[in-house]
Structure 1
Amino acid sequence: MAQNLASEGYAVVTMDHTWEAMVVEWPDGSHTRGTVSPNVKEEDAEKHAQLLDTRVGDARFVLTQLGNLDVIQQLVPNAKCPFDTTNAAIIGHSFGGATAVCALIQDTRFKGAMNMDGSQYGKLAKTERLVVLFGRGEPDARNRSNNATWANLCKHLGHLKEINLKGSAHNTFSDLPLIFKLGGIANEGFAKEMAGTLDGERSFGTVMAYVKEFADLVLKGRNGLLYEGPSELHPEVELMSKV
């Protein structure tokens, strides 16, 4: 997904937590496989708070570093200026989605946040900046109607757009469905449980369309049509609410 956004002219930074992500690829082409499960029981609020504070701190730190010319010149030797870090958007999946919303609440440099199918943890406060909740539709619905953490979050949001993707599973909001499709893995059994029933290429393209329009809206002030109502191009997406 990062490559798709980058191809649209956005500066994109991805954050993976080593040993928790399935795999982390390093600049030299090497990689580290995940060894530790990031899953925490919902009743363990203290552990959730610790993990969330770390991730929000990481997001804010990375954004600050992108505004440091010395750091940028290590990445792009001929760079003449750092990135503008006063106008950023943050997108996260699962626990990363909770991180995205909390980072937005804590740091005004983030102008918008998207939470993809992630229960919301952490301290909440009122915000008028855009938050998109991208949840699951039928047959395995998971959204504000049955996720109490999203229902509570919505009470704090002055600018909300909530959409659901029919036929999706938790990992539909990642690269996994496309990887399954390219690898010739059918949507059944384990693959269906992980990535849903939608065609992998189709679901990837649909998620990317809404991610890109979110970025356009937040960072360029370009208001498209996907969040305004049902789309003939993406009938599998339901617009649930907007404020």
Structure 2
Amino acid sequence: MPDSPDVQEVPQPRNNTALWIWIGAAMLLLLGAGLYFTLSMNPIIVKYRELARFYSSRKEVKLFLTRFGPYAPFVFISLQALQVVMAPIPGEATGFLGGLLFGTGLGFLYSTIGLTLGSALAFGLGRWLVLPLVRRLVSQEVYHKFDFLARTGGELVTLILFLIPGFPKDFLCFLLGVSPLPFGTFLVITTFGRMPGTWLLSIQGAKVGSGYYVDFVIFLTVAAAGALLGYIYREAIFQWVRRRHAADVVENKRDRMSL
């Protein structure tokens, strides 16, 4: 029999999947690094970071306020309002300083005025910016948890959320701006809903300012315990809030249909 011709092996195409994955990862890494350095040098981002650091430093805020003498209350109210609009800048430092500089009563009053003005401004901005832009301001986690309020509002549920220690109330103000909740109702809810936490911060600052450190520790412990309980049971509270809100919506629909 004649020898069979040599069978030449057909070269198999190389699997370049791994190579392309590495190339894609490298490109994403370079893109991320470029965006980071670009944003880090952006004047707006830089100013925002400086403002966040300023609000986080009680010493700097105190020194800043004392420069204004008799006009310090007006400046303090403005700072409180600004920290709501510039969420997520922490407002605990300024609330504490209100009590430290002005005493419990006046510190509480000035903080309440500032927080109410800031909340009203955030609500108005939310209503003006409408939903697509509000979603960019609010973190995705917060939006997806509370988008039901943006669709339907809900007075009692909103008040409960404002009363919960550690809840992102500033973000909620923007979100409620795109809800059917009337502005006047929102103003009442945010004013009274913030009062317990504001009073605790004011009295803590006042106790430190007066040298009553034991009393300060007691009130700090109470506030910390409330915040801890709110954090531990946050999911249970949230689920209850959603169920309560859903029940209210169904009941309202029933009432409208019966008319």
> What is the TM-score with the length of structure 1 in the denominator?
0.31
> What is the TM-score with the length of structure 2 in the denominator?
0.29
As a proportion of its length, which structure holds more helix?
2
Between 1 and 2, higher relative CO (CA 8 Å, sep ≥ 6) is seen in 2
As a proportion of its length, which structure holds more strand?
1
> Larger Cα Rg: Structure 1 or Structure 2?
2
